[in-house]
Amino acid sequence: MNNSALLSFLCLFALLHQSLAASPQFNVIQFGAKPDGRTDSTSAFLAAWKQACSSTRGVTLYVPKGRFLTRSMLFKGPCRNSAIFIRIDGTLVAPSDIWAIGNNPNWIEFQYVNGVTISGGVLDGKGAPLWSCKLAGRKCPTGATNVLVSGVTSLNSQMFHVVINFCRNVKLQGVRISAPGNSPNTDGIHIQMSTGVTVVNTKVATGDDCVSIGPGAANLRIENFACGPGHGISIGSLGKNVNEPGVQNVTVKSTTFTGTTNGLRIKSWGKPSNGFARNILFQHATMNNVQNPIFIDQRYCPDRNCPDTVKKN
């Protein structure tokens, strides 16, 4: 599974902070962004980020109402302050041309940031043209995915919506993720190699896993979560590699699954590996029209050419 994303976090720390009313504000329009949905505003967003990141005080990066077209953007740290509040009142729009992002794995990416809050707004990944390309079996770019934090909506990501990778203490709350049930590889939230991740009061409707939890995830809590359509909440696949970090201390409670292929799933490859899943708690789950409410698959293999599995004596 390719874990490219609309909004991706590769971070030392990604922490939620309260917005400071007196903090300096950098409005992307002041840097040349156009809210018409047609003009490429990529450079303006990156220029605003550069100013915010170089400030020694906490700042607000503001995206006003309107539709802002952007190509792939990398917001890179470390920054000189640890209190950047990104307030989005408008909509960020990906290019309709599937080759405009091409094989870049992420549309919007944050790296090595500490103390960033993203609040509000809509991220429109314009995924339909890429989905059609894949479903038709044509040669297509890999596509991109999406990451959100508080009160944000992710719409029609080309691939994964939210990716949390190498992060600590991340909280997603009030997030809304939406893509059709037949949109391929559009995982809602993917978490791996991260600890202390919390997902609360969130709704995901998509064409793949609502949440996928990969190797190296620990101390994860998902609560008051709605999934459907989609493939459910999945731990794994695990054990694809011989040497692989495990998944541990995961709590999933107060969830509702509606019209999904799976509810709660753990999947691992049937071959030697030191990977593991332990201290997993699934509690208070409601299933409505779910094909496989609880599914533990220890011989997972989505491809025809499966690796050799462990032989039983």
Nearest to 12 by CA among 105, 81, 106, 115: 115
More confidently predicted of 89 and 121: 89
Average pLDDT over residues 154-181: 83
Confidence check: pLDDT of 18 > 50: no
Q: Among all residues, which ones are annotated catalytic? A: 231
Confidence check: pLDDT of 15 > 90: no
More confidently predicted of 253 and 141: 253
Average pLDDT over residues 58-68: 95
Q: pLDDT at position 148, please?
A: 36
**Distance of alpha carbon 307 from alpha carbon 286, whole angstroms:** 35
Q: pLDDT at position 151, please?
A: 61
Place of tokens 């802002």: 68
Tokens standing for residue 40: 């490429």
Confidence check: pLDDT of 200 > 50: yes
- Walk across the sheet containing 292-297 and list its strands: 73-76, 106-111, 5-10, 160-165, 189-192, 211-213, 233-238, 262-268, 292-297
- CA-based diameter of the chain, in Å? 70
The pLDDT > 70 percentage for the chain reads 84
Residue 14 pLDDT level (bands cut at 50, 70, 90): very low
Average pLDDT over residues 109-126: 81
Q: pLDDT at position 304, please?
A: 66
- 7 by Cβ neighbours in 10 Å (0-12 / 13-18 / 19+) ranks as buried
Average pLDDT over residues 221-245: 95
Residue 105 pLDDT level (bands cut at 50, 70, 90): low
Work out the mean pLDDT of the chain and round it to a whole number: 84
Average pLDDT over residues 248-264: 97
Residue 164 pLDDT level (bands cut at 50, 70, 90): confident
User: Are the C-beta atoms of 224 and 254 separated by less than 8 Å?
Assistant: yes
Q: pLDDT at position 52, please?
A: 95
